[in-house]
Amino acid sequence: MFRRRESVPFSFVAESDRFRSNVTPPPRERATVSQLAGRSLVGLTVVGGLVGALILGMPALSPTQSASHAEQTEAVHGH
């Protein structure tokens, strides 16, 4: 059985530094004013939704006792 010369099965992976392209990609197109405005509005909508959910969810997360639970504990202590 013969042995392969390269240590990596794919020689182009091992020698990728040697093969650099001299072709430069085209410059990126600048975003228009309407695209920037749309992106900012989408970002503000997402952030506003998260803040609104947090504000509306805070009362449910607060550790306040209900009135019926407070009456039970007073009755037990008064006994």
79: nearest Cα among 42, 19, 71, 39: 71
Residue 56, pLDDT score: 92
CB–CB of 24/17 below 8 Å?
no
The whole-model pTM stands at: 0.48
Read off the pLDDT of residues 50-78 as tens digits, 9 standing for 90 and up.
999 999 998 888 887 655 555 555 555 65
pLDDT of residue 42: 98
Calpha distance 62→65 (Å, rounded): 9
The pLDDT of residue 5 is 59
Q: Which residues contact 79 (CB under 8 A, 6 or more apart)?
A: none
Q: What is the pLDDT of residue 70?
A: 53
pLDDT in tens, 12-26: 555 555 556 778 888
